[in-house]
Structure 1
Amino acid sequence: MGAWSEEPFGNDTAADWGWELDDAESWEFVTEVLRGFLAASDADEDTEAIVVAAAETVAHGLGSPTQDDSYTESVTAFVERVGAPPAETVTLARDALRVVRDDGSASAELWAEADDLDAWRDALGRINAALSR
C-alpha cells in the first residue's frame, strides 16, 4: 500500500478502489466489501485500506465526508447516483472501522512502524464520528 497521507483515500489501494465506484450501481457494492471484511478471519493492509475507503464513502452518503478533494470525486458521483446508504451499511461501516482501528490490525502495525499511528487513528476517529451523526 503506497500511502501519501492518513486520509481515507490517501493511498494507492483506496484510490484505485474509489475509481471502481464509477461502475457501481448501488450501495450493495460497498456493503459487500464491509460484510466480506467482517466475515473474514484476518485481513491484510490493502483490504483494510479498502474498508476505510468504504467507510468514508458511507460518511459521504450521510452528508458528512471527512475527505473532500480530487481523490473523492468518484465517491461524490457515486453518492449523487445512489443516494443515502441503507442503515445496515452504516452499521457495517462502523463495525468494520472498529476492527481496522484495533491494535492488532495490519494497518495499525504499519502506521505504528511509520510513527504516524496517532494521526491515522485521528483520521479514523473523524470517520467514525461522521458515521455516528
Structure 2
Amino acid sequence: MGTWDIGPFDNDTAADFTDDLDEAAPDEREAMIRGVLKRAAGPADVLGVSDGERAVGAAALVVAQHPGGDPVCSTYGYGPSQPLPELSADLRMLAVAALDHVVSHRSELAELWAEAANWSMWRQNISGLRNALNPPVPPQEEALFEV
C-alpha cells in the first residue's frame, strides 16, 4: 500500500482522488464523489484496494459537511484544496454503505489493514466516519410507557 498513516487521505490513491476533485469543474465534483461511493457500495463480490481507499476519502468529505462532522484535514496536508459544493443529503447513506463494504470480509483494503500493526486505529477511524453519518441508537434503560 502506498500508505503513510491511517487518515482518509493518507495514501496515494485518496490523495490522487482529491487532486482529481481539485482539477474538476465545481459542478462535476459531487458526481465524482457519488461515483466513488456507488462503486464501493455496489454489489461487487470483492472491493479492490483502490476503490476502498477512494471511498474512505469520499466518505470523509461527506462527513465534513454533516452537522457536527469533522473538517477534512490530514496531518500531511492531503485533501482537497478547492471548496466543494454543498453535497446532497442522500450521499450520507451511500457513504455508510460504502464504509460498510470497506470493512467487510469482501474488502481487499480491510484484508491489508488486518495485517498492519495499527489496524485497530484504522478501524476506529472508519467507525468514527460511519457513526458521524449514521449514529448508533443508544439502548433504552427503561420503557417510556407500559403496555
Distance in 1, Cα, partners of 2:36 & 2:18: 12
After TM superposition, list the pairs within 5 Å mapping 1:11-50 onto structure 2.
11-22=11-22, 23-24=24-25, 25=27, 26-41=29-44, 42-50=46-54
Aligned match of 2:140: none
TM-score (norm 2): 0.77
Pick one of 120, 123, 126 that aligns with 1:121. Answer: 123
Aligned match of 1:72: 79
* 8 Å contact from structure 2 (residues 99, 130) kept in 1: yes
Distance in 1, Cα, partners of 2:54 & 2:105: 18
Distance in 2, Cα, partners of 1:59 & 1:125: 12
CA pair 20-44 structure 1, distance change in 2 beyond 3 A: same
- 1:113, CA displacement in angstroms? 1.2
Range with greater deviation from structure 2 (60-69 or 20-29):
60-69
- 1:66, CA displacement in angstroms? 5.9
Pick one of 54, 57, 65 that aligns with 1:61. Answer: 65
Q: Are 2:100 and 1:98 equivalent residues in the alignment? A: yes
Gaps of 5+ in 2: 136-147
Gaps of 5+ in 1: none
* 8 Å contact from structure 1 (residues 8, 52) kept in 2: yes
Distance in 2, Cα, partners of 1:107 & 1:116: 14
Q: State the superposition RMSD in angstroms.
A: 1.9
CA pair 104-32 structure 1, distance change in 2 beyond 3 A: closer
CA pair 48-87 structure 1, distance change in 2 beyond 3 A: same
**Aligned AA for 1:29?**
M
Paired positions, count: 128
- Rg larger in 1 or in 2? 2
Runs of 4+ deviating beyond 6 Å: none
- 1:44, CA displacement in angstroms? 1.1
Distance in 2, Cα, partners of 1:126 & 1:66: 13
* 8 Å contact from structure 2 (residues 62, 91) kept in 1: yes
* 8 Å contact from structure 1 (residues 45, 106) kept in 2: yes
* 8 Å contact from structure 2 (residues 8, 57) kept in 1: yes
